Amino acid sequence: MPTAPNRRAVAVILLVPLMVTLALWAFAWPAARIAPRDLPVGVAGAAPAAQQLEQRFEQRDGAFEVHRYADEAAARAAIEDRVVYGAVVATPEGPHLLTASAAGPVVSQLLREAVTTSVPEGTRVEVTDVVAAPAGDPRGGALGASILPLALAGMAAGAVVTLMGLRGARGALALLGASALVGLAATALTHSWLGVVAGDWWTEAGVFALTVLAIGSGVAGLAALLGSRGIGLGALLMVLLGNSFSGVTSAPQLLPEPVGAIGQWLPPGAGGSLLRSVAFFDGSAASGPLVTLSLWSVAGLAAVLLARRTPKPAAPTPGEPAREPALAG
């Protein structure tokens, strides 16, 4: 019979490759399958030129979700409200592409390629960036990279609260306090120093804090319900799947289905979407991710508040021997 140390060694040998394989699948598979899937775009201008543009988008079956607008002003408003990622306006001089690099530089580049390859060779395509990414992060790399540290911070907060045995009001206050401090520090770094977000300072701090709170309370809540296994499940949901499925470096509609939708139901993806909305679009389309983060936070905090610490056995009084547990008769 194998001894306990040998069994543990075999478990490590088998589990480490399994974890690496799972991590590679979670990160590499979506990245290798990036392509538009019902990506919302707009078409504006007078028929029949606008109709021809719409037909060119629809020829790529399932790639684009086309919205028609009467004129350029309406298309610009739809971009600023985050209804569409970009729009093509039919003009007498040729197609005029409206993009929003702040919504995702990868999407903007994809739309440029889609429009320029669909028009006759030699046709000039004018491009206007309606909501531009900030000068400090023109390619959106810094904003995308900020989600993993938030996931790790929330994961650490939830795990520490669990391992320290904090339950009830103490556990909830610890999560709230840690999240608030992370929110202030993250905003000072990304807004005040790096300049990669450009919205209202305190609103951005609230988004960072709420994202960390949703992750941390989610982990602590799972641990309160499932014990130490909840920390592992929280790491799987928040760090591995939540970060790789977030779509923050591209767009949810560019990820394989249903990965993009799942990512928006998890706090890292919802936090990234909410941060874009408040940082560049004056809060447009913020309600969905705000509800998601709030639900995770409330559910996790409720589990922490309602959890009871396991009472320790009473110590024997001096001079009194410890009682042996009674045997069942």
Count other Cβ atoms within 10 Å, centred on residue 104: 26
> What is the rounded distance in angstroms from the CA atom of residue 128 to the CA atom of residue 130?
6
Give 261's contacts (C-beta < 8 A, 6+ positions apart).
252
pTM: 0.88
- The angle at the Cα of 67, spanning 83 to 73, to the nearest 5 degrees, equals 70
Residues in the chain, total: 329
List, in sequence order, every residue forming a beta bridge with 95; answer none if it has no partner.
90
CA distances from 162 to 144, 149, 156, 176 (A): 29, 20, 10, 14
Report residue 171 as tokens.
């556990």
| Alpha carbons 14 and 16: distance in angstroms, whole number | 6
Would you state the pLDDT for residue 321?
56
Query: Mean pLDDT in each 10-residue stretch from start to end of the chain (329 residues)?
Result: 72 79 84 92 90 88 93 96 96 92 94 87 88 90 91 96 92 97 97 94 98 98 93 94 93 93 96 97 97 98 82 52 50
- Please state the φ and ψ torsions of residue 11, each to the nearest 5 degrees: -60, -40
Inter-residue contact 267 to 212 (CB < 8 Å): no
**Is the preceding peptide bond at 36 cis, omega within 30 degrees of 0?**
no
